[in-house]
Structure formats: C-alpha cells, structure tokens
Chains A and B, each alone.
Chain A
Amino acid sequence: MGPLNAVLFEPVGCLAEFPPEPFHEIAVKLYGRKGKPSRSASRTYWHLLNLMQAAGNESIEALEVEAVDGAILYGDVLPALAELKAIGVKLLIASSLSNAALARFLAKCCPHDFDGVWNRDNASGIKAAPLRAALDHASLEAGQAMFLTDTAEGLKVAESVGVNSILMMNDPDESQRLAMLNPGGGIVSLHELPDFIRLLRAQGRCMPDCSI
C-alpha cells in the first residue's frame, strides 16, 4: 500500500448542488416510486441508483441532463481541485451518471482537467463499478484513494470497494447520523481536502485501516 494520493468524486452532492426532482421523476416513471422527493438530491439520487441496481440500470437520460442543467457548482470546488492537483493528488470522477449527463456537467459546470472520468456507461455499471474502473485504469490500490460522499449508500459503496470514505458534511443533522457509521473522515467544505491530505502526509500515515 502506498500513501493516500487520489480522490474519487461523485459530482452529485460533492461537487455541486443538484435539484432532486429530476432523479425523483425517473424513480417515479420507471420504478413506480411514490411520495415526494427528498430535499437532498444526493439521497434521491442514491435511492434511484438502488432501484436501478435492482431492476437493470434503466434510467431516463433526458431527466439526468435536466438535473445537470439545474446543478450549481459549489464555490470552493475549482480552487480546491487546483490546489489538490498542485500537491500531486490524482483527481478522478467516478460517477453513476450517464456519459451524456456527466459530459454535460463537466462542460457546463466543472471545467477541470481530471485525471480520469468514469461514468456508468464507460464503467459498465453503477455505484461501485465507476470507482473500480477509476482505480484500475489509474493503477491505484483501493487504500490509496478516498471517495467523497454525503450519503449512507455512498459510504457503503466505498466500504465495498475498499477505498477510504470521506463524509461531505453538507447537512449537519444528516452528517451527525452518518458520522455514527464510522466514515474514514469528514470535511465541511472541499477547500479542507488539501489540508486533510497534507495532514496525513505530515503525520506519515494513511487513513484508518490503511497501512503504509
């Protein structure tokens, strides 16, 4: 195992604020989901991924693109990405969005030169599949990477792949609950991530359960 030197991003909830309604609409139209959408786009999105996983990965691309069109990049993302790149951290997108939706997101919202971009089409799957594809193609072992997520489902996926899970603490109440699930760490804002990695490097250690 080497030191921690890569970050995997799922844009929904970690790089941008997405509207939950389009993801909910997909769940309603394809999977018969009832009720109102959650206020959290991330929870709605990950719930949709669960439904997709159970029923064959079908989605409605037009609605995903609609979600992307309503997404607002968090203000600290681009400076943080630039700083991470400057300190030699590999930055990889590992998303369960479609190829078209993700390409639109990157073109419209997040003009950064990532070291790898994986979606459910080129990774041939959702949830863990893009993470595994990103790691494989970057020749990274799981313990060398961290995956940012703000949902319990995301934490489970990180655990299943073996990457270090970092909780994006977007919502304090939800984060309190998720902190009980023992994520590898947590940050309030992406601008803290370079400091996080500097601290690990200065202490000469990786995340818990990750030997150097």
Chain B
Amino acid sequence: MKKISIYRPTTVDEAIQILSTHGTEAGVYAGGTDLLIRLKNRLKQAPTYLVDIKKIDNLRYIKEDSAGGVQIGAATKLAEIVDSDVLKKRYPMLVHAFNMISSPELRNVSTLGGDLLQEVWCQYLRGGYSCWRNGGYLCYGAIGDNSYYHSAMGGRLCYAVYPGDAAVALIPFDAKAKLATPGGPKELTLEQLVPGDMLVDGRIQSHVVRFNEILTEVVLPPPKPGVRASFEKLRPRGVWDFAMASLALRLDVQDGAIADSRVVFGGIAGKPLRERAVENFLRGKTLSPNLGSQAVSIALANAAPLKYNSTKIDMAKGLLASGLAKLNGTA
C-alpha cells in the first residue's frame, strides 16, 4: 500500500481548505470501509492525503427539524440510523433498508456519506485491472464476468453498477443532500447527487461531489400522510452483499387511489434508477392484485443486459411485483 498522510481537521472549513490544497490527491476519510479498501486494492485513484472528518463534531447526528422532517449528519454511522427511534417512527422503510446494508460490524463503522459516495465494487476494478476507473481505457466487466455487479441497463464506459443502498432508499422520500463547498453551501436532490457515471475533476465517478467539497447532511422532508413504502434487496449471499437488484417503493395512497409514487431500482444500473414509466402508470390507479403484473409489463423497457446478467432484470421486475403486492397487503 502506498504511503499516505492523514489530516485531522476540526471544522468543515478547515477540511475544505486541506482538500483544496491537495486537489484530487486528497480524499475525505470517515468510516473508511470503502476508502481504506481502495488503498489496499492499490487503486490508482485512491488518495494519498486522507482528510479524516471524524474529529469534526457537527457531522454526526440525527435530529428532527421544526417542520417534522429529519436531518442526518453525513458522518452518522449506518448502525445509528438503524437504531434511531426517530427514523423507526417516521421512516420505517429507511431503517429496514439500512439494516440490509453490509454486515452489523461494517454498519458500526460505515457512515451515511460514505455509503452514498462509495466507489463501485466491480471485481475487475478492485482486482487491480487497468480499467476506466483505474487509469485504463477499457471495461473488463463488460466483457468478463458481469453476473453480479454490472449494469443491465447500459453504461457509459464503465459498466459497474452503483452499489449503494442508502441512495436507493432515500430517493423515494425526496431527500436532499447538503454539501459544503469553497463557494458556500450547496443543496442537491439525491438523484442529482448520484446521477451515475460522470466525469468530475478528470475522474469517472458515480457522484458529482468535487475534490474540494464535503457532503455534510441529508435532509428528509416530513413524511406525508397515507404513505406506504417498502424496500427489498436480492443479493448473491443472503447474509451480506451488494444488491443484484433492489427496489425502493413509495406510494402515496389517498382515498384508495395512488396519488403519487416513487419507484427506484438499485443494483441494476450505474445509478439509482428511478423508473418514471411505472410511476406514471401507477398514478391514479387503485391498488389491486393485478397491478403488479401490469406494472411489470411496462417496467425497464430500456434494459440492455450484458452477457451474464439478464437475470437481474427478471429479479428487478419480480421485486416490483412483490413490492406492490406487499403494499397492497396481498403478499
């Protein structure tokens, strides 16, 4: 592993200053369950200067705001989110989803910000292949074993899937992300935060956070009345693993009809995939046993599976049918 230097700033401003000084050679270090593995994997884009934000004491919290929403500091541990009484009461689906992220041990260390901004877990990247994310010009996942961790919905140079569950589960609630930047605070929707592979500061990454910016907070708006939500995840190993396919579903049911919905797939594309065709289809419909099969028939029309992963599309469609059945009370 290459030699690294660690800074321990005590304020966000100080952290941004350090990040700005070292450019893309620096990276934010919080839980380390992704970052340290990137270093151990000897990835070319792994940082040399780690900016440890754990000493910044105003990044780790879960608190209700006056409007009834919830604010979660970016350095909050995933286990703390799972154990939060506030979230259990207001967003039980979110707690269920976070409880399916990796293992209990890792959840004790991993942070919300780290899960949202993690690097992809393609076995070729992590195995040191010279791919797009590792200084090369070819995606080995596109032509090699792409059964588990690669996109079935097309790609842009890199075909690895966005691996995080937190974003998939947060998007249905219209959560927003707050960033501290040299130019002042910035607010993005979660969809804007992780739009899929982007060229940012000369690097391919799944999120839009620049080298000198820090994700500080995720804000959940107050839950709406009549909301039903579910999160399900299929993975190669049931104990802990990344999603082969997952689905976060939110239905706003008013007078028995679906007034609004969010349908977000994970594990099948380079980003959390919001399926607007299904959302449009569901609007105004009444929950019924047939709704799932009708929704499935129009879902993921743009699927473009690779050689070994067409089953991910079947999995995703199955999750849609079972998710709707669950929210209808017929599962």
Contacts and interface: CB of A to CB of B under 8 A. Distances in A.
Interface of A: 166-167, 169, 172-173, 175-176, 179, 183-189, 191-192, 195-196, 198-199, 202-204, 207-208
B139 A188 contact: yes
23 contacts: A167-B138, A169-B143, A172-B143, A173-B307, A175-B142, A176-B144, A179-B138, A179-B140, A184-B137, A186-B137, A186-B138, A186-B143, A187-B157, A188-B155, A188-B159, A192-B156, A195-B156, A195-B157, A195-B199, A196-B137, A198-B199, A199-B202, A202-B202
B243 interface: no
Contacts of B139: 186, 188
Given A166-B137, A169-B143, 13 more contacts: A169-B142, A172-B306, A176-B143, A179-B140, A185-B138, A186-B138, A186-B139, A186-B143, A187-B157, A188-B159, A192-B157, A198-B199, A199-B204
B287 to A, nearest CB: 38
Contacts of A173: 143, 307
B303 to A, nearest CB: 15
A196 B157 contact: yes
B142 A199 contact: no
Given A167-B138, A186-B137, A186-B138, A199 B157 contact: yes
A187 B136 CA distance: 12
Given A172-B306, A172-B307, A195-B199, A207 B137 contact: yes
Contacts of B155: 188, 192
Of A185, A192, A203, most B-chain CB atoms within 10 Å: A192
Interface in B17-65: none
Interface in B227-254: none
Contacts, number: 55
Interface in B125-183: 132, 136-140, 142-144, 154-157, 159
Interface string B249-278: 000000000000000000000000000000
Contacts of B157: 187, 192, 195-196, 199
A196 B136 CA distance: 11
Contacts of A186: 137-139, 143
Nearest to B136: A185
B143 A185 contact: no
Given A172-B307, A195-B199, A185 B137 contact: yes
Given A172-B306, A172-B307, A188 B199 contact: no
Interface in B90-111: none
A199 B139 CA distance: 14
Contacts of A183: 138
Interface in B173-206: 199, 202, 204
A134 B202 CA distance: 30
A53 B126 CA distance: 44
B142 A172 contact: yes
Contacts of A187: 157
Contacts of B144: 172, 176
A75 to B, nearest CB: 11
A47 B174 CA distance: 56
A165 B252 CA distance: 53
B56 to A, nearest CB: 31
A166 B144 CA distance: 18
Nearest to A191: B156
A4 to B, nearest CB: 11
Contacts of A192: 155-157
